[in-house]
Structure 1
Amino acid sequence: MVRDGWAVSGWGLGCAGFGLGCALSGTELFGAAWPGWLVAGVGAVSAAAGLAVVRRKPVRRLLWLLCGAAAVGAWGLLMDVVTLLCGQRVDSVPDTVERALVVVGAVLLARTALGLRPGARGGPDRRADRAAPAPTAAPPVVQLAAWAGTLAFVPYVLMKLVWALGGSFAGIGGDQMYASYVHNGSSGLWLALERWGLDATVLLALLGVFLLWGLVRPWGQVFPRWTLPLSGRRVPRWLPLTPALLGAATLAPYGLFGMGYLTLCTAGVTRIRLGELAGEQSALEIAWVGMCGFAGYGVALVVAARSYWRRTGVRAAGAR
């Protein structure tokens, strides 16, 4: 645990330095100046908590609290990753750096907090605790959530495919959508896929569904036959959990808060931002399809990731 404590402390100092630098230089984070001070504060407390771990102080709850704060700060990172993969520029470089930084911190803090749980180090049952549990499928209710998350993405995928194939949805034609991609600086690969009738976000959605089912089926714990050289080997827990936790922390709140905002817009309490769209009705229809997909998938990913975490834990033989 000493090594984990030093790692948390080092990350905390780096985070504090980044936040302080943004605050003192006037660099805005998320459109305001004050978040820099908040990031600096979280980093400073994390550095102190890391030193407490080195000195074997009982700070497990504090570590989880800081982990939660870091996870909240990572909101939106998945969108930035998708934007970069598509060859586009992120809206704010400092925001993206902050999100990436706190994701690293969240992982370090969670790892250290888990290491401090009772019986995590040593003990008479140490060898038994570290035995990997046999691959199991998630309980029926978790698989039902996976089906719900999969179906939630269907309207979104169909909408994108209609545009990619030159059709029209919500009064927006495929050519108009393609022109907006060009205007936003999409990469050549993105534009080529659009011309071939494929949309890059559809491919990402399919990859997300693949991840979701890997979390709830046994083949997500042991590589299946079609993986050829990897067949039969144990899947490292971090391989599916890293994108799953990142996606859950991003898509679930993004979709749920987005649905709340759209509810207010639909009720006439506020007006939706049109962006490049000409009509409010078109904007609402498109936004509802997207937000329902993100929220449904994001919540399903939370449920599936939690089940996978419990089923694959070294102490979780037989747990669900």
Structure 2
Amino acid sequence: MSEVKQAPTTIPWQHRWGRQPRIAGGAALGWAVVQSIVALACVWAGTSGTTVGGDQPPVGLAWFAAGVAVLGGVSAAAAVRGHEGRTVRGLLWAACALSTVTGFSLLMDVVGLLFAHGVDNVAAAVLHTLGLLGAVLLAATSHARRPAICARCGTVHTAVVRPHPSHAPRRVRLVAYGGILAFVPYIGMKMVWALGGTFAGISGAELLRISERNGASGVWLTLESWGVDGTVLLAALGIFLLFGLIRPWGQIFPRWTLGLSGRSVPRWLPLAPALIGATTLVPYGLGGVGYLALVSMGAASMRLGDSPTLQDALLMGWVGHVGFAVYGLALLTASRSYWLRTRPVC
């Protein structure tokens, strides 16, 4: 009988995050403490009439964030103490999902910082950021494992062996193509306005005046004057990212990447923005679709804003939220496929 090799007592630092629950759980526990303090401060400020950055903190969101922090902190503390059963992992994933809801509109805050007058509410933006950070840390804690002996070679792996670059499965590619097609109407709507046309009762010139009135940034206004919409550029980057997740060149830098050609793409490079985008767009898009459905049935009211009619406001809402929801789901599906296809092998 062949002798089983002994597992090393230590593993490289790059493996510890994914394998050591104490590291990931400790970070998640620290996040829970910080979010609890920030959320309770927002509750106090909102109920006492104190403003943050000129805006009153959202009390409802703050209470929700505080509850998520408590749930995440308790489950992370259990993971740190060595409890790795299904109950703890279930609580971690539940807290992760709720934390994702807390940060659902972070992407909109980023767009506002880049191209508009800034975020709509400073306290809400902070809670959105903490919510998405908590989702990442809780997912990492749930995924963490203690060092285990490989069933094939009898050791704890101390070197990363990347698999050969591969396409995503056909079903995943079809889902990705569907997400891209769902984004086309949104891109078309934005380009019509950027080129001076009229859509949903609003002309490009009128939209430019609205942007100036709302304090849009110089970058945004310059791009609009050139016939380019900033969100279209972000959508193009999102489509590029989605292709990278399903194509082999997302794992090995292709020839057109000067100086990097032939090198392995770090897994975090596409996965980090993909997961941030998915966890933001999916709840934002699905929540918007549900709200628009209620408005269409007459079960909820909707502010028209700058839209001339309710039908125009609904049209813009459907184009945007359906595109966000479907693309976000496609991005989530492609990210999972990329994660599985790039796992180190024995």
Fold conserved between structures, TM > 0.5: yes
| Aligned mates of 1:151, 1:210 — CA distance in 2 | 13
Contact 2:99 2:132 in 1 (8 A): yes
1:250 corresponds in structure 2 to 280
**For the structure 1 residues 38 and 267, does the alpha-carbon distance in structure 2 shift closer, same or farther, using more than 3 Å as the test?**
closer
Q: State which drifts further: 131-140 or 25-34.
A: 25-34
- 1:296 corresponding residue in structure 2: 326
Cα deviations across residues 290-316 of structure 1 (Å, max 9, x unaligned)? 22221221221121112112212235x
Determine if the alignment matches structure 1 residue 203 to structure 2 residue 216: no
Q: Give the 3 Å change call, closer, same or farther, for CA 238–176 of structure 1 in structure 2.
A: same
Aligned counterpart, 1:226? 256
2:200 equivalent in structure 1? 170
* Match of residue 10 from structure 2: none
Match for residue 42 of structure 1? 68
Percent of residue pairs bearing the same amino acid type: 49
Matched, 1:54 2:80: yes
User: What letter matches 1:112 in structure 2?
Assistant: T
1:54–1:170 Cα change, 3 Å = closer
Structure-2 residue corresponding to 1:190: 220
Say yes or no: does 1:63 pair with 2:92.
yes
Give the structure 2 partner of residue 85 of structure 1.
114
Change (3 A) 1:135 1:94: same
User: Are 2:25 and 1:5 equivalent residues in the alignment?
Assistant: yes
8 Å CA contact 1:30–1:95 kept in 2: the answer is no
* Paired residues of 2:220 and 2:230 also in contact (CA < 8 A): yes
- Among 18, 25, 48, the alignment partner of 2:45 is 25
Alpha carbons 2:255, 2:262 under 8 Å: kept = yes
Q: Are 2:341 and 1:311 equivalent residues in the alignment?
A: yes
Alpha carbons of 1:34 and 1:157: their partners in 2 closer, same or farther (altered >3 Å)? Answer: closer
The corresponding residue for 2:139 is 110
Aligned to 1:14: 34
Residues 70, 106 of structure 1: 8 Å contact kept: yes
Q: Secondary structure at the match of 1:232?
A: coil
| Correspondence for 2:126 | 97
User: Contact between 2:64 and 2:102, CA under 8 Å: does it hold in 1?
Assistant: no
> 2:104 is matched with which residue?
75
Contact 1:115 1:121 (C-alpha < 8 Å) held by counterparts: no
Deviation at 1:30, TM superposition (A): 10
Q: Following TM superposition, by how much is the alpha carbon of 1:271 offset from its aligned partner in structure 2, in angstroms?
A: 4.2
CA distance in 2, matches of 1:55, 1:278: 58
Q: Is the 8 A contact 2:28 2:73 kept in 1?
A: yes
Q: Distance in 2 between matches of 1:4 and 1:261?
A: 36
> Who is 2:242 aligned against?
212
Q: CA deviation at 1:261?
A: 2.6
In 2 relative to 1, CA 173–74 (structure 1 residues): closer, same or farther, beyond 3 Å? same
Note the alpha carbon deviations across 1:152-183, whole angstroms, 9 max, x for none: 11121122111111111222211101111111
What's the offset of the Cα at 1:62?
A: 2.7
- Structure 1 stretch 81-90 or stretch 2-11: which is displaced more? 2-11
Distance in 1 (CA, whole Å) between partners of 2:213 and 2:259 is 43
Instruction: Tell me whether 1:157 sits opposite 2:183 in the alignment.
Output: no
Q: Distance in 1 between matches of 2:321 and 2:61?
A: 26
| C-alpha deviation, 1:86, in angstroms | 0.9
Distance change in 2, residues 1:168/1:222 (3 Å): same
* Count of residue pairs the alignment pairs up: 313
Aligned pair partner of 1:135 in 162, 165, 176: 165
SS across alignment from 1:225: coil
The alpha-carbon deviation at position 207 of structure 1 amounts to 0.7
Is 1:121 paired with 2:147?
yes
Partner Cα distance (1:39, 1:85) in 2: 25
Name the residue aligned to 2:315: 285
Counterpart residue type for residue 144 of structure 2: G
Identify unmatched segments of 5+ residues in structure 2. 1-19
Decide whether aligned partners of structure 1 residues 106 and 182 sit closer, same or farther in structure 2, where only a CA change above 3 A counts: same
Letter aligned with residue 112 of structure 2 = T
The more displaced of 41-50 and 168-177 is 41-50
* In 1: Cα distance, 2:301 partner to 2:68 partner: 35
Q: Structure 1: how far apart are the matches of 2:326 and 2:222?
A: 30
Amino acid at match of 1:12: A
Please give the TM-score of this superposition, normalised by the length of structure 1.
0.89
